[in-house]
Amino acid sequence: MGDATDEDDYFDTVSVNSTRSKRKLNNNDYIALSRNTLYYSVPDLGGNNMEMTELQDSGHKVSGNKNIRTYTQWRDRSWRYFSNSELVVDFVLAYDEQGKQEHVQRRKTFEASLQQTGLILEREVNQRIHFVKLHVPREVLCQYAEILKLRMPIKDNDEQLPKDNIVTNTVQKCLEKCRVTLDRKKFPPQKYQLTAEFSKDKPYLFDVDSPDFFSDSVKITVASYILEREKFGPEDQDKGIKQLIADGTYKAAYPLHDGEIDDAGSKRHLLFHEWASISKCIKFQPIDDIKDYFGVKLALYFTWLGFYTHMLIPASIVGILCLLYGAFTLHSDTLSQDICSLDVTMCPLCDKYCDYWKLSGSCTYSKIQHLIDNPATIFFAVFMSIWAAIYLEFWKRYSAEIAHRWGLTGFDLQAEPPRPEFLLRLSNAKKKKLNVITQLQEPVVPFWRVKLPSIILSFTVAFFWALIALTIVIGIVIYRMSLLTSDALYKDRTSVRIYVVPVTAGLLNLVCIVILNMIYDRLAVWLTEMELQRTQTEFDDSLALKIYIFQFVNYYSSIFYIAFFKGKFVGYPSKYNKVFGYRQEECSPGGCLMELTIQLAIIMVGNQAMNSVMEMLIPFCFKMYNTFIVSKRIEEADTEEELIGCNQWTADYNLSDLQSRSLFAEYLEMVLQYGFVTLFVTAFPLAPLFALINNVLEMRLDAKKFMKYFRRPVPQRVKNIGVWYQVLTVIGRIAIVSNAMIIAFSSNFIPRLVYMLKVNSDHTDQGFLEFSLAYFNTSDFKPGTAPESPTYDTQVCRYAEFRNPPDDPHKYKRPLIYWHILAVRLAFIVVYQNLVSFIVTVVEWTIPDISRKLNDRIKREAYKVNEIIIKNESERTKKRSNTVRKRDSLLSEVGSVYHDAISEAGDVKNHRSTMYYDTGDS
């Protein structure tokens, strides 16, 4: 190493007291290697410490590796390998040397069980956190690939995908010119491979001897499967690494990243810089490479998120066009023109302290509202309902293609084992029963005495928290109502009522949402644990139900209030309906749609921005904390035995563990966003655009987070996104009714339509403002409710309602036109809901779940695999038949030949008889 650079002067294992451990050898500093004890199948090195080995320029072998001349070459070979062999580390177990004594016996039993399955283990004990490195040999991979029914590529595969049509080719060329497709040099297209369920009895199908036949993903899957099922104690349920981690026997169990982020040549480096980079946000995702690295479950999330984001593009364009239509028709909007030009004195917004005010003060507000509340709104609502149906149907087709491409056609989950937490909580249970599927004794949870009461209590508490969320919304409403009075005391302008009150209320609601989420999230997990759900799927489904119901109420309740309740039950100046002594809020003469938009924008955009920051900040803080703890322990060490093993397993140990709920949170965030985009899109046409911008960044930030701050997850096979598809379907159905009610009750569309068709003989909306404002005689104010110091001396004020004038015999009562408008509102909801639902049903019916091309390909591939099996089995049968005939011929020939065979073989009488018997059977 005489010519090596400074960075090549040291091994990757650094001593705490480097001044004591450094020695000079040939003018090069070196450091003693960490003490490694090889475990079970790995040969012992002889002694507690590895021999100090200098890497000479002569290029001799070090630690069984290939010829190594520099430190960099040594590091590349030792980063993910066993210490004294060419074996790659496929999985790692970590434990604390200061654990309980009972944990030692459990680890010994468990690791012995792992060795009996064929795994190769090596233990590294060079610091307080000890590591057990696992390698899965090829024989074990073959055995468990058959058990897990993994679909593996077959050899001699000349199957070709159908050629794309001219339209697809044209679109592909356009995308390549726009530079949104993947770089083929960095992500070469993977050759399509025909797959079949792996079977050791069909060696002619699979090229098992190929070094790339079993990918890292398959190795990790097999290792995880073994770890989850091997025993560590005498009881039937004393098995599985999750239970050992839960009781503290092990600190962690994880597969390894294939290198550091800055290690050029690793898949992690490639994905981090080409996929997880914000600068690549307009490019497609390398979903096949993501699947190979992270597994199907995580890759399917990013595939779904990317598909959803692309589908938001047409929705965003139509939303922008609707907004532009409102801007271009603003000059012809008579309602906003009348509000700005007419001198109309409005009644006070609160009793005693509020003054009369001029309607022209809301001129700007009415113009902005026209951008949202215009004839294009109806079209956009219908479009988004159909868009939601098309999106879900297209996703079903696309996910079927992805599942087939990833070898998941026909895949079904096997019987799930009990959750480790379930077994720990019932470790002392006396009553057990046999599971007919797994044939294991499992603890029994009495349904009527234990499980049912716990479920009832759990959902009762969840319902109570939903009521708390509603109570907070009511509190914010009261805050808004009380703020109007305080505004009058401080003589604030009308702009404060129109803009400041909705914005501050929206921000306050957002803060309350975040706080409630933080508390309820932990509460929901505790409640679900109390239910004693047996499997992880049952646990996740119950947790998802409770959390989504609460989130639905927490996020959408204030928006539903503005859309369907605000200003609907106000009363009139001489008889206001009051809540806790406060008058209810009124909508402006232009309606409540603008305020609904403000509330939506604040909650949706603010929540997305906060989630994006927290998703990156929390994993970063965890990583920094873990690194600080490890460094602090090293600094406090008194002996030279405390070393930093600079390798992949110690680097990954400092990362956060990617829990199953991590992906649950990602799905939940996107599903809530989907609710904003569909449920209230009539009030916020820019919702798809904001969702699109957020998701473009969300994909890359999530990718960066998983690549940089989390350990590599265990690949999991799933066919689809699970229960979230049903949730999205339900939201789409609710959105049809929701948008119909927003148009009917929060917009001026129906009153204006009735006015044009029934009231105005010219069938125009000219004079609609006058029609929508009722008169009130100021002398009819109740004592103590009229303004104390009125600025305007007026006998009559106006308010936004449909009521008889004060000179009518039935003054301030509902006129007939009000009931006509109400009837039209209800009729519109019924017609809209049925018409759009019919169109959506037609869309769902006309778009099959699996395309005809894919269905034909699945049948074709199944036929071809069967033909290959039949052909090879026929050839094997012929060979066996030829062998039988040769043996029969041999036995029927001259006895001397027969006896010569016996004499050459020695005492083979039994063997000959056996062969003869088997031949006859054949």
Per-range mean pLDDT, top range of 102-106, 478-482, 583-587 = 102-106
> Looking at residue 392, what is its pLDDT?
92
Instruction: Give CA–CA dist 358/353, Å, rounded.
Output: 16
774 has which bridge partners? 799
Q: Please report, to the nearest 10 degrees, the dihedral formed by the alpha carbons of residues 391, 392, 395, 400 taken in order.
A: -150
> Looking at residue 163, what is its pLDDT?
63
Compute the average pLDDT of residues 481-486: 61
What's the pLDDT tens digit per position in 830-867?
999 999 999 988 988 888 888 888 888 888 888 888 88
Which one, of 261, 44, 81, 47, lies nearest residue 645 by Cα?
81
Buried-state track 860-870, b at ≥16 Cβ within 10 A, e below 16: ebeebbeebbe
Please name the residues in contact with 755: beta carbons below 8 A apart, sequence gap of 6 or more. 765, 768, 771, 772
CB 54 within 8 A of CB 28: yes
253 has which bridge partners? 93
What's the pLDDT tens digit per position in 877-891?
887 777 766 666 655
Which one, of 221, 224, 159, lies nearest residue 196 by Cα?
159
Instruction: Give CA–CA dist 166/154, Å, rounded.
Output: 31
Is residue 742 pLDDT above 80, yes or no?
yes
Which one, of 843, 746, 839, 844, lies nearest residue 382 by Cα?
839
Instruction: Give CA–CA dist 752/767, Å, rounded.
Output: 10
578 has which bridge partners? 583
Buried-state track 490-517, b at ≥16 Cβ within 10 A, e below 16: eeeebebbbbebbebbbebbbebbeebb
DSSP string, 44-111: P-SSSSPPP----TT--B-TT-SB--SHHHHHHHHSSB-TTSSPBP-EEEEEETTS-HHHHHHHHHHH
CB 822 within 8 A of CB 747: no
> Looking at residue 88, what is its pLDDT?
87
- pLDDT-derived band of residue 391, with 50, 70 and 90 as boundaries? very high
> Looking at residue 434, what is its pLDDT?
58
Please name the residues in contact with 349: beta carbons below 8 A apart, sequence gap of 6 or more. 357, 484, 488, 497, 583, 586
Instruction: Give CA–CA dist 480/482, Å, rounded.
Output: 5
Compute the average pLDDT of residues 745-767: 87
67 has which bridge partners? 61
Compute the average pLDDT of residues 717-739: 86
CB 85 within 8 A of CB 131: no
What's the pLDDT tens digit per position in 594-630?
777 777 777 777 777 777 777 667 767 766 766 666 5
Compute the average pLDDT of residues 292-301: 90
CB 135 within 8 A of CB 119: yes
- Of the listed ranges 39-43, 184-188, 331-335, 576-580, the least confidently predicted one is 39-43
Per-range mean pLDDT, top range of 69-73, 819-823, 883-887, 905-909 = 819-823
Residue with tokens 């339209």: 167
Instruction: Give CA–CA dist 917/32, Å, rounded.
Output: 64
Looking from the CA of 579 toward its CB, the CA atoms found within 13 Å total: 16
- Of the listed ranges 418-432, 510-524, 832-846, the least confidently predicted one is 418-432
Which one, of 474, 487, 684, lies nearest residue 566 by Cα?
474
Instruction: Please calculate the CA angle 352-358-359 and round it to the nearest 5 degrees.
Output: 120
> Looking at residue 176, what is its pLDDT?
73
What's the pLDDT tens digit per position in 528-583?
777 777 766 677 777 877 888 888 887 888 788 877 777 677 777 878 777 766 67
φ, ψ for residue 789, nearest 5 deg: -130, 80
**Which one has a higher pLDDT value, 921 or 732?**
732
Please name the residues in contact with 599: beta carbons below 8 A apart, sequence gap of 6 or more. 502, 505, 506, 509, 558, 559, 562
Amino acid at 881: S
Instruction: Give CA–CA dist 664/301, Å, rounded.
Output: 10
Instruction: Give CA–CA dist 786/576, Å, rounded.
Output: 13
- Of the listed ranges 71-80, 142-151, 460-469, 803-812, the least confidently predicted one is 71-80
Is residue 518 pLDDT above 60, yes or no?
yes
Secondary structure of residue 37 in the 3-state scheme: strand
Which one, of 839, 725, 868, lies nearest residue 400 by Cα?
725
* Run of H or E residues at 334: helix 334-341
Q: β-strand 23-25 against 36-37: which pairing, if any?
A: unpaired
* Run of H or E residues at 190: none
Q: How far is CA 700 from the centre of its chain?
A: 13
Residue 436, token pair as written in the block: 């007919």
Which one, of 353, 775, 784, 356, lies nearest residue 572 by Cα?
775
Instruction: Give CA–CA dist 532/450, Å, rounded.
Output: 9
What's the pLDDT tens digit per position in 320-338?
999 899 889 888 888 888 8
Please name the residues in contact with 418: beta carbons below 8 A apart, sequence gap of 6 or more. 237, 442, 534, 535
pLDDT above 70 as % of the chain? 73
- Of the listed ranges 10-24, 82-96, 727-741, the least confidently predicted one is 10-24
- pLDDT-derived band of residue 301, with 50, 70 and 90 as boundaries? very high
Please name the residues in contact with 225: beta carbons below 8 A apart, sequence gap of 6 or more. 144, 147, 148
Instruction: Give CA–CA dist 224/333, Å, rounded.
Output: 66
Please name the residues in contact with 454: beta carbons below 8 A apart, sequence gap of 6 or more. 530, 531, 532
Give CA separation, 880 vs 873, 876, 886, in Å. Answer: 10, 6, 10
Secondary structure of residue 117 in the 3-state scheme: coil
CB 95 within 8 A of CB 250: yes
What's the pLDDT tens digit per position in 161-174?
566 666 666 767 77
> Looking at residue 416, what is its pLDDT?
54
Amino acid at 53: T
For the chain, how many helices (H) and strands (E)? 29, 21
Which one, of 604, 597, 350, 356, lies nearest residue 487 by Cα?
350
Is residue 438 pLDDT above 70, yes or no?
no
Q: β-strand 120-124 against 773-777: which pairing, if any?
A: unpaired
SS3 sequence of 670-721: HHHHHHHHHHCCCCCCCHHHHHHHHHHHHHHHHHHHHHHCECCCCCCCCCCC
Instruction: Give CA–CA dist 763/755, Å, rounded.
Output: 8
Mean pLDDT, the chain, rounded, equals 75
What's the pLDDT tens digit per position in 644-654?
556 788 888 88
Is residue 228 pLDDT above 90, yes or no?
no
Residue with tokens 């009781």: 247
Is residue 318 pLDDT above 90, yes or no?
yes
**Which one has a higher pLDDT value, 44 or 449?**
449
Q: What is the pTM of this model?
A: 0.78
Which one, of 258, 260, 266, lies nearest residue 186 by Cα?
266
Per-range mean pLDDT, top range of 2-11, 467-476, 740-749 = 740-749
Buried-state track 184-208, b at ≥16 Cβ within 10 A, e below 16: eeebeeeeeebbbbbeeebebbbeb
